[in-house]
Structure 1
Amino acid sequence: MRAAIGTSDYHVSGETFINRHINLLFGGDTAVICGRFNGDDPYGKPLFVRRERLSGLDLLSFPFWTLWNRARHSTSRLPFGRGKRDLAAFLRDQRIDVILAEFGTQALALAPLANEVGVPIFTYYRGTDASKALQSPRIQAAYAKLMPRLAGVFSVSQFLLDNLARHGVRHRNAHVIPSGVDVRRFAPTEKVPLSCLAVGRFVEKKAPLTTLRSFAEATAQRPEARLDFIGDGPLLSPTQALAAELGVANRVTFHGSQPHDRVREILQRTQFFVQHSVTAADGNTEGLPTAIQEAMACGCITVSTRHAGIPEAIDEGETGFLVDEHDAAGFTRAIAAAFAVPDTSAMGSKARQVAEERFDNDVLLAKLEREIRRTLGQ
C-alpha cells in the first residue's frame, strides 16, 4: 500500500513521529505532500510542495477562491487552479492508495481533493490542532465538515478526542495511537543521582519558570541536585535570569536546542524528568508529549501535571508524580517526593516497563497500518 504523508513543513528534524511515518509507514512506500519545503530531504521521497504552485492566473483568482472555499468548506486552505490540478496529477502519477494528513489542519487542505480523486484520507491529531485551533469558531465549523470526508481519525491521546467531541467534532472510526518511542534506542544507562532534565521549547504551555522555581525550592537542602534544560524559545532569557536571581545558576545548565541523539544521551543518564505542562492562554495544549514517553523508556521518574494526555502515560505513585496545572507549591512537593522515593531504581524500572508495553513505536506503527488496512478493507 502506497501512502502520501501530508504535513505543513518538510523536513523538521524534531517532528520524529512524522518523520517515522515518512520513512517507515507501509515499509517506506510513501510520498510527501507539504505546505513548505526547507530544502532538507533526508528520505529522498517523491515530494509535492503545495505553496509553490500559484501561477499568474491563480494569483488573480485567489480572492475568489478564498471566499468560495471559506463559504463551502469553512477554510481557505484548499489548493485551487493549477496547484489543485498538479496535486491531483501527483496523486495519480505516484499511484497513491491512501493519504495520512499529519495534523487536522492539514486534512482541511487535502480532504476535498482526496474525495474528488477517490483516494481515502485519514488524519492524525497531535496537540495544537485539537486545542488552540478549536478556539476559532471557523475551525470548529471546518472540522465538522471535514469529519464525513475522512476514512478515519487518529489521535495521540484520548484527551484530544474528548476535546474535539466537546466542540461537536466526532468521527465513528477514531483511534488513540500515541506517537511512541524507539525503546531499543531510548534505554536506561547508569543514572546520575539527583539529576533532573526538562526538554521542550521555552513557551507558556511548558511553564519553564515554574519548573525552575520548584526545582530551586525542592532542592534548597540538596546542593548536589542538578537541573538541565534542553530547548530554546521566548522564555529562555527570563528563565536564565530567574536562575541567577534564585542563586541556582551554578546548578542549572541551559543546553539550548539539541539534536535528538544528544537529548537521548542526556535522558539515559538522568534520574528525574520534570515538566510542568499547562494550558496556554490561547488554549494551546500538549497531546501526549513525546519527551515524556522517551523519558519513561530511559527509566526516568517523571514529575509533571494532570494535563492533556500526560495522565494517560504516568501512573501516579508508580512511574511518577502529577499535580494540577499551575500548582507551583504542589510541584515543589512532588519533586521533593520524587527525591525521597526509597527505591528510585525500582520506580525507574517500572517506568521503563510501561514504556515498553504502551509506547513501543514499532508496535504502534504496526497498529496504525493495521487500522488503515482494516478500514479500507471494509
Structure 2
Amino acid sequence: MRTAIGTSDYYVGGETFINRHIELLFGGDTVVVCGRSNGEDPYDKPIFERRAPLGGMDLLSLPFWTLWNRAQHATSRVPFGQAKRDLADFLRRERVEVILAEFGTQALALAPLANELEIPIFSYYRGTDASKALRARKIQVAYRKMMPRLAGVFSVSQFLLDNLARHGVRHDNAHVIPSGVDVRRFFPTDKDPLSCLAVGRFVEKKAPLITLRSFAEATVGTGARLDFIGDGPLLAPARALADELGVADRVTFHGAQKHDFVREILQRTQFFLQHSVTAADGNTEGLPTAIQEAMACGCITVSTRHAGIPEAIDEGETGFLVEEHDASGFTRAIRTALTADNLAQMSAKARSTAEERFDNDILLHRLEAQIRMTLGR
C-alpha cells in the first residue's frame, strides 16, 4: 500500500521509529513528506519538502491564508497556494494511497489536503505532540477539529491517549502501538557486574543530575560504575557535579554517540537508570525507546512512574519505579536493585517481556494490519 510518511525533518538518524516506517512499512512502498530536508536520503525515497520559500503571489496572499486556515482549521500550518498545488501533484504522481503523519503536529498540516484528495490519513502520537504541545489552547482546538478528518490514531502509550482525552481530543479508532525495538540486534551478552547506564539528552525531562546524585549516594563503597550517553545543556553541570560528589573516577560521560555504540554498551550493562520527569513546559516522554532497548538487552531498569514507563516496567520483576523528583526514593531503588538476590531472573524477565511486547517486527505488522482493517483492505 503506497504510503506517504509525514515528518518534520528528514533525514534524522536518531528517529529510529520514523526511519523504520520509511524503510519497511508495507514492504517499503513509501514516500516522504517532510517539513525540511537536509539532503540525506539513505532509503532512496521520493521526497517532498513542504517548507519551500514562498513565491511572490503567495507572499502577497499570506495574510489572507493565515487568517483563513486559522478560522477553518485552528492552525496556520496548512499549505496553500503553490505549495499546496505542488504537494497535491506529488501525492497524485506518487499514487499515494494512505498518509501516516508521525506526529500530531504534522497531521495538522496534512489532514485538510488529504481529505480534499480523498486519501485516508492517520496520526501517530509520540510524546511532545501529546504533552507540551497541549499547553497551547490553539493546539487543543486544532487537534479537536482535526480528529474527524483522521481515519485513525496511534500512540506509543496509553498515557498519551489519556492525556489527549483530558483535553477533549479523542478518536474512536485509537490504538496503542509502541515504537518497539529490534530484539534480534538488541540482546544480552555477559554483564559487567555493578555496571549502570543512562542514555538521553542532558535536558530537564531526563533529570540527569538526579540520576547522578542518586547513583553516587546509592553506590558508596560498591565500586559500581555509571556510563552516560548523550549531550545537551545539562552536560557541563553534570560533569561538575560528578567532581563535587567525588565520583568522577566511576562516571564516564561519552557525549552523543551512534546507535551501535549504545547497543554495545547496553548489551553488557546490568542496570539502566532513567529518572524521567515532566518538564516545566509540560514536555513528557511517550514510552522511551531507550527503556525498551535496555529491556531487550536484559538490563534491570530503575526509573519513574512517568508517562508510559509503568506500561513497560513490571515493578519488582523487570525493574523498580519511584515518583517523579523523588531523589531519595530513586537512591533507595538503585540500592535495592544493586543488592537484589534475583538479578538473573529479573534480567531474563526483562528480555522475555521485550520479546513479547516490544518486538518491532510484530509491532510493524500490527500497525499495517490496523491500517488495512480500517480501510477495509
TM-score of the superposed pair, with normalisation by structure 2: 0.99
Partner Cα distance (1:255, 1:40) in 2: 26
Cα displacement string for residues 64-117 of structure 1 (whole angstroms, at most 9, x for unaligned residues): 211211121111101110000000000000000000000100000000000000
Corresponding position of 1:231: 230
Partner Cα distance (1:360, 1:56) in 2: 50
State whether residues 103 and 123 of structure 1, in contact with CA within 8 Å, keep that contact through their aligned partners in structure 2.
Answer: yes
In the TM superposition, residue 284 of structure 1 has moved relative to its aligned partner by 0.3
Cα displacement string for residues 189-240 of structure 1 (whole angstroms, at most 9, x for unaligned residues): 1100000000000000100000000000000121x21000000111111111
Corresponding position of 1:176: 176
Corresponding position of 1:49: 49
Corresponding position of 1:247: 246
Q: Which one-letter code corresponds to 1:264 in the other structure?
A: R
In the TM superposition, residue 367 of structure 1 has moved relative to its aligned partner by 0.2
Q: Which one-letter code corresponds to 1:278 in the other structure?
A: V
In the TM superposition, residue 59 of structure 1 has moved relative to its aligned partner by 1.6
Q: Which one-letter code corresponds to 1:198 in the other structure?
A: A
Percent of matched pairs sharing the same residue? 79
Corresponding position of 1:102: 102
- 3-state SS of the aligned residue for 2:5? strand
Q: Which one-letter code corresponds to 2:288 in the other structure?
A: P
Corresponding position of 1:320: 319
Q: Which one-letter code corresponds to 1:311 in the other structure?
A: P
State whether residues 53 and 82 of structure 1, in contact with CA within 8 Å, keep that contact through their aligned partners in structure 2.
Answer: no
Corresponding position of 1:217: 217
State whether residues 53 and 83 of structure 1, in contact with CA within 8 Å, keep that contact through their aligned partners in structure 2.
Answer: no
Corresponding position of 1:92: 92
Q: Which one-letter code corresponds to 2:293 in the other structure?
A: E
Cα displacement string for residues 266-299 of structure 1 (whole angstroms, at most 9, x for unaligned residues): 1000000000000000000000000000000000
Superposition misfits of 4+ residues, deviation over 3 angstroms: none
2:352 paired with 1:344: no
Task: Write out aligned runs for 1:356-367 (5 A).
Answer: 356-367=355-366
2:266 paired with 1:267: yes
Cα displacement string for residues 329-375 of structure 1 (whole angstroms, at most 9, x for unaligned residues): 00000000000111312111100000000000000000000000000
Unpaired runs of 5+ residues, structure 1, are none
Corresponding position of 1:300: 299
Corresponding position of 2:112: 112
Q: Which one-letter code corresponds to 1:38 in the other structure?
A: N
Partner Cα distance (1:40, 1:193) in 2: 40
Corresponding position of 1:126: 126
State whether residues 198 and 275 of structure 1, in contact with CA within 8 Å, keep that contact through their aligned partners in structure 2.
Answer: yes
State whether residues 100 and 121 of structure 1, in contact with CA within 8 Å, keep that contact through their aligned partners in structure 2.
Answer: yes
Q: What is the alpha-carbon root mean square deviation over aligned residues?
A: 0.7
Corresponding position of 2:152: 152
Cα displacement string for residues 233-273 of structure 1 (whole angstroms, at most 9, x for unaligned residues): 11111111100110101110000100001100010000000
TM-score of the superposed pair, with normalisation by structure 1: 0.99
2:11 paired with 1:19: no
Q: Which one-letter code corresponds to 1:256 in the other structure?
A: G
The alignment covers a number of residue pairs equal to 377
